[in-house]
Amino acid sequence: MPEYCIGIPRVTTLRIAVRSLQLLNYMGSTRPRLVIVKGSLPEEGSPAAALRESFEIVEAEDLPAARTLVNGDPGAILICSPQQLNALCSAPADDTPDRFALEHVAEGVGLVNEEGTLVWSNHRLSKHSAEVTKRFVEHCTTAIELYNRSADVSLPIDDIHSKEIAFSSGDSHFELVVSPASISLVPDPHIDTVVGVLWENTASRQLQNKIDAIDAAGAELLRLDSAAISNLNMAERLKYLEDRIVQSVRELLEFDNFEIRLLDSKTRRLELVIAIGISPLKIGELIYAEQEGNGISGYVAATGNSYVCPDVSKDPMYREGLETAASALTVPLRLHDRIIGVFNVESNTKAAFDDNDLLFAELFGRYIAMSMNILDLLVVERYTTNAQVSKNIVSELRAPLKTLAEQAEKLSKLSSDDKNINKLAKQILSTAGTMDARIKDCTSGPRTILETEQELHRQKRDPAMEGRRVLIADDEANIRERLKTMLEQRGCDVQIAAGGGEAIELIEAAAARGKPIEVIVSDIKMPDRNGYEVFRAARAADDNTQVILMTGFGYDPHHSIVRSVQEGLHSFLFKPFKASQFIEELTKALAAVKK
C-alpha cells in the first residue's frame, strides 16, 4: 500500500486533490511519482497537465500494474477511481464519493469555505483535537479573507501562491499550508474555498529549540574576557569555565558521565582536562591521537570522525572509563579545520545515544573547543607578555646600573683618603649589585624564587618543621636547590627529584618503608610526568599526603591544577613567588597532615 492513495470520483473533488498534491509536493524536497490508473482521471479540465507541473506522471494499464509500480517506489502516489480504491483497500464503498478523495493522505487535509465551515476533512485531520481543528479552520478562513483582499482572482487559480502558517497548541507545534480550491463568480469573482494541508512538527521544533539553547550556552562559554573573570588567575578562570561546561552538559545535553581531553600538538597525547563520573587512566597509561591501540578517543582524535559505541562489551576499541559503562559517544573538538581534543560521553545503558545526541555533542563540542582555545591564548599571552616585559626591564636597567657602579668606583678612587665618602661609595656599589641581582631574579620568572637570600639570612630552625618529610620535584635545578636549602635550614628532611617519574618512585618507596612523604611540592610541567600525575601518585600512596603544585605565570598546559583541586589539592603557587609565601603555604600544608 503506497503512502498516499487517492480515489478520484469527480471533477470537484479532483481540484481539491490536485491542490493538495501540489501542497504535499511543496513540503517535500524531491519530485515524487504519480502512478495513474488508465481511465481514472476525467477528461474535462485537463487535470493531468496540472499534475505534470509538480510530479512525474506514470500511467498504468490497470490496477495490478499500478500496484506493481508503487510497490517498487515507496515515495510514489497512486491515483485511481473510487471503485479501484475500494478494491485496493478491501473496504466497503462509502455512500459519499467525495469521502474517497485524499482519505489515505498521510497528512491532515481539509476544505474550508468562506463562512468558516470545515466542509470536508480526511481521517488524519479528524484525529487531531478540537482545539487544533478550530485553529486549522480559523487560519484557513483568514487566508480566504487575505486572498480576496489582495489577490487578483482573475488569475488562473493554480497561479495563486500558497500561504504558510505556523501555530502551536499546548506543547505541540504545527505547520499549515493553505491554497485556493475554488472561485465563485457571484456576486463578483472571489475565492470561496481553500484547501489546507496540516502536519505536526513538534519533534523538529523541539530539536531546534534545543539547538538554540546549546548555541546560547556556547556563547556564554566564550565570554571569558568579561568583567566577571577579569581578576581571576588562570587556574580560577579554567575552574570558572569548567563549571559552566559541566552545568551545560548536564542540564542541556543531559549527559552525566563525560570527559574532555585536549591534544598536545607536539607529543600527540590526549591530556585529560575535565572528568565527571569517569575514572582517569592509571598513572603511566597514555592515550595518543592514533587510529589503533589508543581506544575510541585516540581514533576520533586521529580521524576527526565521531564514534557511537552502542555496546562497549562488543567493541574492541573501547578502553575502560566509566566502571559500569554499557555504551559510549565520542566526538572531536574542532577548531576550524583542526582537531584539538575529544569530548567523550559514557552511559551505563546500552544504545543510550541516538542521532540527536550525536548532533548535540558535536555542536556543543565546537563551543568547548573555542572556549578552551581562548583560555589557552589568554594564558600564553600572559606568559609571553610577562617574559617580554622582564626582558625589557633587564635591557632598560642594565645600562644605568652599570653607570651607577662605574660612578661609585670613580668616587671611591677620587676620595680614597676620605673614609666616609669611600664607605658611601662602597655602599652604593653594593646596592647597585644587589639591585642587579634582584632584577635578574624578578625577571627570571619561573626559574627563580624571589627574596631567597632574605629568608636564608634568618638562619633559624622551626620546631613545626623539624624532621618533617618533604619532597621537591622540579626540572629547574635552581628552583629545587633553593627550596631544599630553605627547608633544610628550618629542620625539614628534604628529598629532591628532577622529574615527575623520579618523584613518583620516591613517593612509592617512602610509602613502602612506612614513612610516607608528608608534603610534596611539584612543578606542573615536567618532561616525563605532569603535576596531576604526581598528585595522583601521592594520593594513591597515602591520602594523608599534602601536595602543593607550582607553575610559571599561571601556565598550566595539562590543566593539572583544576583536576587536582577537585580531588583535594592543598594549594598552588605561580612562579615567580616569594620565599616567604612558599614558607607560609608549606607551614599550612604541614599543619593539615594528620598525625
Per residue in 34-53, pLDDT (tens digit) is 777 777 665 554 555 656 66
Transcribe 86-139 into DSSP letters.
HHHHT-PPPSSGGGGTTTT-SSEEEEEETTS-EEEE-HHHHTS-HHHHHHHHHH
The mean-pLDDT minimum among 36-40, 43-47, 245-249, 527-531 falls in 43-47
| 206-378 placed in CATH 3.30.450.40 | yes
Which of the four pLDDT bands, split at 50, 70 and 90, describes residue 401?
confident
Amino acid at 146: L
pLDDT tens track for 483-493: 898 899 889 99
Percent of the chain clearing pLDDT 70 (strictly above): 69
Please check the confidence at residue 384 and state whether its pLDDT lies above 60.
no
pLDDT value at position 511?
Answer: 93
CA distance 371 to 382: 17
* For range 132-141, the mean pLDDT: 94
Query: CB atoms < 10 A from the CB of 326, how many?
Result: 17
pLDDT value at position 2?
Answer: 42
Cell matching residue 553: 605565570
Which of the four pLDDT bands, split at 50, 70 and 90, describes residue 358?
very high
Q: Backbone phi, then psi, for 463, in 5-degree steps?
A: -55, -30
CB 140 within 8 A of CB 194: yes
Please check the confidence at residue 230 and state whether its pLDDT lies above 50.
yes
CA distance 253 to 368: 13
Whole-angstrom CA distances from 573 to 53, 255, 335, 555 are 75, 34, 31, 11
By the 10 Å C-beta count (0-12 exposed, 13-18 middle, 19+ buried), 196 is classed as buried
| Extended strands (E) in 269-422 | 270-276, 307-309, 327-335, 338-347
| 4-200 placed in CATH 3.30.450.20 | yes
Helix and strand element counts for the chain (H, E): 17, 19
Residues of the chain by 3-state class (helix, strand, coil), percent to 5: 45, 20, 30
Residue with more model confidence, 258 or 241: 258
Cell matching residue 294: 589508543
Residue ranges per structural domain of the chain: 4-200, 206-378, 382-447, 452-592
In 3D space, the residue among 356, 551, 353 whose CA is nearest the CA of residue 446 turns out to be 551
pLDDT value at position 550?
Answer: 85
Sheet holding 163-169, edge to edge: 118-121, 108-113, 190-200, 172-184, 163-169
Cα 82 to the chain's mean position, in Å?
55
Which residues have CB under 8 Å from 578's CB, separation 6+?
449, 450, 451
- Whether residue 187 has a cis bond before it, omega within 30° of 0: yes
CA distance 487 to 471: 10
Please check the confidence at residue 17 and state whether its pLDDT lies above 60.
no
pLDDT value at position 190?
Answer: 86
The single-letter DSSP state of residue 312 is G
Which of the four pLDDT bands, split at 50, 70 and 90, describes residue 91?
very low
Cell matching residue 287: 592515550
Which residues have CB under 8 Å from 60's CB, separation 6+?
35, 36, 37, 38, 66, 69
Which of the four pLDDT bands, split at 50, 70 and 90, describes residue 333?
very high
* For range 536-549, the mean pLDDT: 90
Please check the confidence at residue 344 and state whether its pLDDT lies above 50.
yes
Which residues have CB under 8 Å from 84's CB, separation 6+?
7, 37, 40, 63
CA distance 345 to 331: 9
pLDDT value at position 9?
Answer: 37
Amino acid at 127: K
CA distance 138 to 150: 18
Q: Is 141 left (phi over 0), alpha (psi -120 to 50) or beta?
A: alpha
Which of the four pLDDT bands, split at 50, 70 and 90, describes residue 189?
confident
In 3D space, the residue among 11, 97, 25, 83 whose CA is nearest the CA of residue 57 turns out to be 25
Supply the angle between the helices 355-414 and 419-443 in degrees, to the nearest 10: 170
CA distance 417 to 440: 34
CB 232 within 8 A of CB 240: yes
* For range 341-367, the mean pLDDT: 91
The mean-pLDDT minimum among 16-25, 261-270, 411-420 falls in 16-25
CA distance 309 to 178: 45
Supply the angle between the helices 234-248 and 355-414 in degrees, to the nearest 10: 170
CA distance 554 to 547: 17
CA distance 152 to 504: 86
Percent of the chain clearing pLDDT 90 (strictly above): 22
pLDDT value at position 4?
Answer: 41
* For range 532-552, the mean pLDDT: 88
pLDDT value at position 520?
Answer: 94
Which of the four pLDDT bands, split at 50, 70 and 90, describes residue 93?
very low
Residue with more model confidence, 235 or 444: 235
The mean-pLDDT minimum among 162-166, 313-317, 416-420, 553-557 falls in 553-557
CB 169 within 8 A of CB 202: no
pLDDT value at position 594?
Answer: 82
Cell matching residue 245: 561546561
Cell matching residue 228: 566577571
* For range 419-445, the mean pLDDT: 70
Topology agreement, domain 206-378 and domain 452-592 = no
pLDDT value at position 85?
Answer: 55
CA distance 210 to 526: 42
CATH superfamily of 452-592: Response regulator (3.40.50.2300)
pLDDT value at position 157?
Answer: 66
Which of the four pLDDT bands, split at 50, 70 and 90, describes residue 87?
low
pLDDT tens track for 465-485: 999 999 999 988 888 888 898
pLDDT value at position 100?
Answer: 38
Please check the confidence at residue 371 and state whether its pLDDT lies above 70.
yes
CA distance 381 to 64: 76
Please check the confidence at residue 116 and state whether its pLDDT lies above 50.
yes
CB 581 within 8 A of CB 454: no
Which residues have CB under 8 Å from 224's CB, separation 6+?
237, 241, 371, 374, 375, 378
pLDDT tens track for 277-306: 887 776 667 889 999 989 999 999 999 999
